[in-house]
Amino acid sequence: MPAPPRSALLLAGLLASAGVAHFVAPRQFDATVPRALPGSPRAWTAASGAVELALAAGLVVPATRRASAHATALFFAGVFPANVKMAYDWRHRPAPVRALAYARLPLQVPLVLWARRAARAEG
């Protein structure tokens, strides 16, 4: 069963919230940027926040919703290495904090599926 547009709008809200958070509290995101990437972590934090805001805007507009939903699925898959890095870096932190970092790993799967479902609903 295709997802209603409301699902895409909820996904847009999630992305917009995350995008804003990248600019409001960038330090927590800087720490997840893999060291192998060129440039500064802050530049990657700002870029990923801007991408999240752009994807959110694309999901809101019916004419761009399908393409934005596909791009969102790719984005969620693409940021997975940062979540792996965060889980690894936080492996010695207190259990509640460590659990949060580990919980982010499997969360990527439903996010990718949610974005793909939103794309199918528009197709």
Q: What pLDDT is stored for residue 6 in this prediction?
A: 86
% of the chain with per-residue pLDDT over 90? 62
pLDDT classification of 121: cutoffs 50, 70, 90: confident
pTM: 0.86
Say which residue, 6 or 122, is predicted with more confidence: 6
pLDDT at 1 over 50: no
Query: What's the CA gap between 11 and 14, in Å, rounded?
Result: 5
Mean pLDDT across 85-113? 90
Choose the weakest-confidence range: 31-35, 46-50, 78-82: 31-35
